[in-house]
């Protein structure tokens, strides 16, 4: 087993909800800074733990364990780190903070809370405990620390084996990201739940949770179910599901793409648990009905995203494509992706009801699927360009090409002839077939940039398009897309040790230096300006699916 062992800025260090109780309200989660070993903990008034080691060499770097030459650090609970080092650790408060010493315990008090560093010099090194909110006096022995290490290693040893040694470190890094971004049940969320990133966002998101479930379904079906159930249980009585939650309830008045039925069906394929289907089906039905009734203002059977024209950095957070030029029209649009997601999820919900023997609901959602499919083909297809586009309420197509223009292949909406036309556009190296396909805006667009959805490449979109290509017989192109994607992920992983939120479509610029709703500082620091987020969970999930060859 060749574990990830690259220490670098941007990686998270925290206790996983898979191992025990966590608290989002008082989350003791750190991020590595550039100098090894320096971990800044995410509070309003940040606290930093530093082991001033020279020439530290790492054997393993996971989300909750650091092992190297004569040192070991591990989370033993949500608020306690214990370890052994040849040098004494240092604790620092970023702004205000008072440190007092009583025997071998240093207590740091600042506006974010109380932190304790307990040290004990033994024959073979300095043993220590660093804790938040609780004083620790008894420090583990070396044999006890080795048992913690053994347990952490055993988690990865139980995972499906990586089929290609070339990706082994990357693969285990992704599994570590999956693990570290799990929270324990808390507040109104009665299940273990997932977040795209415990720093800086720390919320539960709708479609992200489904993508996380896709990866968990390959090695922890129960966690995959909980990832989805945690979202469904927060549903409003009306059927509405918000795009973002914390354990106290909904934080937003917008929703997100409908991928929940697809996710439920995918997880169901792993263990054929009909009770899971029965548990999910009513909420899925209410959500799709709510969406069809509340996001079709012109009543033509196609959906429109809720947009915020005055919020220039995020005109359409509901779509997940925050700053895409698609929404620069600042008017409502019949959206090709929204309508496609509805069409796709209606198909899967029909399949779910068929599996449950509910013919009435199965027929209802199959008809919805067919109706939306027909509407997409009759109203959103441009024969001249060989693409699907968004549509103004006047009936005019926007003719703004984005990866969303290819999504009808993924949902099986288009004919083979239409797919053939789209593939020709996709393979144009001056437009979409870049060094790292598929740019979120084509290279020949006046809007092409290195800022999120204005040109960068995203792993979820590549996965959707890959599935679409396979559906229409373009297996070799789908495999090439997968390989180009993996090559880019591996390249930047080897250079930075990180898996990123999005990547440069030209595969030249380090993701830390891409724009994210604006220019980045010279040295990456998410608190100055959020960069392409590192240890990003859905990117890790899709990387796992690519490596394992999973095609849901």
Query: Residues 178, 129: one domain?
Result: no
CATH number of the domain that 419 lies in?
1.50.10.10
Whether the predicted pLDDT of 154 surpasses 90: yes
Name the residue range of residue 117's domain.
12-157
181 and 149 within one domain: no
pLDDT tens profile 437-489 = 999 999 999 999 999 999 999 999 999 999 999 999 999 999 999 999 999 99
Same domain, 196 and 76: no
Across 347-372, average pLDDT: 98
- How confident is the model at residue 421, as a pLDDT? 98
Q: pLDDT tier at 251 (50, 70, 90 boundaries)?
A: confident
Closest CA to 552 of 224, 186, 189, 323: 224
So what's the pLDDT on residue 477?
98
Please report the DSSP string for 507-531 in residue order: S-S-GGGSBSSSPPPSS--TTTS--
Nearest-10 crossing angle of helices 475-496, 168-180:
80
Q: Is the CB of residue 513 less than 8 Å from the CB of residue 498? A: no
40: which strand partners?
31, 48
Same-domain pairing of 259 and 305: yes
Residue 312 has pLDDT above 90, yes or no: no
The CA distances from residue 388 to 258, 264, 421, in Å, are 19, 28, 11
β-pairing verdict for 38-41 and 30-32: antiparallel
What confidence tier does 393 reach under pLDDT thresholds 50, 70, 90?
A: very high
- Count helices and strands in the chain by DSSP H and E runs: 13, 22
In this predicted structure, what is the pLDDT of residue 52?
95
- What is the band of 311 on the pLDDT scale with cuts at 50, 70, 90? confident
Indicate the number of domains in the chain. 2
The secondary structure of residue 57, as a DSSP letter, is -
**Residue 4, domain member (yes or no):** no
Above 80 in pLDDT, residue 409?
yes
**Mean pLDDT throughout 295-318?**
93
Position 313 scores a pLDDT of 85
**Digit-coded pLDDT (tens) for 492-531:** 999 999 999 999 999 999 999 999 999 999 899 999 999 9
Domain for residue 35, yes or no?
Answer: yes
Identify the domain boundary among 135, 157, 179.
157
Tokens coding 316? 């359409």
- Taking 80 as the threshold, does the pLDDT of residue 537 lie above it? yes
pLDDT of residue 446: 96
Place of tokens 């999120």: 452
Note whether 241 and 232 are within 8 A (CB).
yes
Average pLDDT over residues 35-63: 95
Which of 126, 157, 188 marks a domain boundary?
Answer: 157
* pLDDT (mean) for 279-308: 97
> Is pLDDT of 250 > 80?
no
Residue 494 included in any domain:
yes
DSSP bridge pairs for 388: 381
Region 243-251 average pLDDT: 90
- Examine the domain organization and report whether 402 and 523 are in the same domain: yes
Q: Give strand ranges (E) for 170-274.
A: 182-183, 193-194, 204-205, 244-246, 249-250
How confident is the model over 101-110, as a mean pLDDT? 96
What rounded mean pLDDT belongs to the chain?
97
Residues 228, 209 contacting (CB under 8 angstroms):
yes
The torsion angle over the Cα atoms of residues 412, 418, 420 and 421, rounded to 10 degrees, is -140
| One domain, residues 106 and 209 | no
Instruction: Give backbone dihedrals phi and psi of 286, rounded to 5 degrees, phi first.
Output: -60, -40
Domain identity same for 201 and 114? no
**135 and 182 part of one domain:** no
Tell me the mean pLDDT in the region 141-170. Answer: 98
- The reply to whether 149 and 250 lie within a common domain is no
Q: Are residues 436 and 529 in the same domain?
A: yes
pLDDT of res. 249: 87
Is residue 480 classed as helix, strand or coil in its secondary structure? helix
Query: Checking DSSP bridges between strand 30-32 and strand 12-13, what pairing results, if any?
Result: antiparallel
Average pLDDT on 182-198 reads 98
Same domain, 42 and 187: no
Residue with tokens 């919900």: 349
Domain boundary among 157, 174, 199: 157
């Amino acid at each position: 087993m060749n574990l990830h062992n690259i220490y670098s800025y941007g990686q998270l260090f925290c206790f996983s909800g898979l191992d025990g109780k966590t608290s989002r309200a008082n989350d003791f989660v750190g991020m590595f800074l550039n100098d090894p070993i320096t971990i800044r903990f995410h509070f309003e008034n940040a606290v930093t733990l530093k082991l001033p080691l020279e020439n530290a060499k790492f054997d393993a770097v996971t989300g909750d364990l650091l092992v190297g030459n004569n040192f070991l650090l591990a989370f033993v609970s949500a608020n306690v780190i214990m370890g052994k080092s040849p040098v004494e650790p240092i604790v620092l408060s970023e702004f205000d903070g008072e440190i007092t010493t009583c025997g071998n315990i240093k207590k740091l008090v600042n506006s974010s809370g109380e932190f304790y560093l307990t040290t004990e010099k033994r024959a073979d090194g300095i043993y220590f405990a660093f804790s938040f909110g609780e004083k620790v006096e008894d420090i583990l022995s070396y044999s006890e620390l080795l048992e913690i290490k053994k347990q952490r290693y055993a988690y990865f040893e139980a995972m499906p084996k990586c089929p290609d040694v070339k990706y082994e470190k990357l693969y285990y890094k992704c599994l570590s990201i999956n693990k570290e971004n799990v929270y324990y049940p808390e507040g109104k969320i009665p299940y273990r739940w997932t977040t795209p990133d415990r720093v800086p966002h720390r919320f539960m998101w709708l479609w992200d949770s489904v993508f996380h479930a896709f990866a968990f379904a390959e090695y922890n079906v129960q966690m995959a179910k909980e990832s989805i159930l945690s979202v469904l249980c927060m549903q409003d009585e009306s059927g509405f599901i918000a795009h973002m939650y914390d354990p106290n309830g909904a934080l937003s008045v917008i929703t997100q793409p409908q991928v929940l039925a697809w996710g439920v069906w995918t997880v169901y394929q792993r263990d054929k648990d009909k009770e899971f289907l029965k548990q999910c089906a009513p909420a899925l039905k209410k959500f799709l009905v709510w969406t069809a009734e509340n996001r079709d203002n012109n009543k033509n059977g196609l959906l429109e995203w809720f947009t915020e024209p005055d919020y220039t950095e995020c005109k359409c957070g509901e779509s997940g494509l925050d700053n895409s030029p698609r929404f620069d029209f600042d008017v409502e649009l019949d959206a090709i992706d929204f309508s496609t997601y509805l069409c796709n999820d209606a198909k899967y919900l029909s399949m779910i009801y068929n599996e449950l023997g509910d013919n009435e609901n199965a027929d209802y959602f199959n008809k919805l699927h067919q109706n939306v499919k027909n509407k997409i083909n009759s109203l959103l297809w441009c024969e001249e360009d060989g693409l699907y586009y968004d549509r103004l309420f006047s009936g005019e197509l926007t003719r703004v090409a984005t990866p969303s223009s290819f999504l009808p292949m993924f949902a099986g909406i288009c004919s083979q002839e239409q797919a053939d036309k789209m593939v020709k556009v996709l393979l144009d190296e001056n437009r979409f077939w870049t060094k790292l396909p598929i740019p979120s805006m084509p290279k020949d667009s006046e809007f092409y940039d290195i800022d999120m959805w204005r040109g960068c490449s995203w792993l979820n979109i590549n996965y959707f398009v890959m599935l679409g290509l396979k559906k229409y017989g373009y297996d070799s192109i789908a495999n090439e897309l997968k390989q180009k994607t993996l090559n880019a992920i591996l390249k930047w992983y080897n250079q930075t040790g990180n898996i990123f939120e999005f990547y440069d479509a030209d595969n030249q610029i380090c993701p830390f230096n891409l724009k994210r709703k604006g220019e980045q500082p010279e040295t990456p620091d998410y608190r100055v300006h959020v960069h392409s987020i590192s240890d990003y969970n859905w990117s890790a999930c899709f990387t796992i699916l690519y490596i394992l060859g999973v095609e849901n």
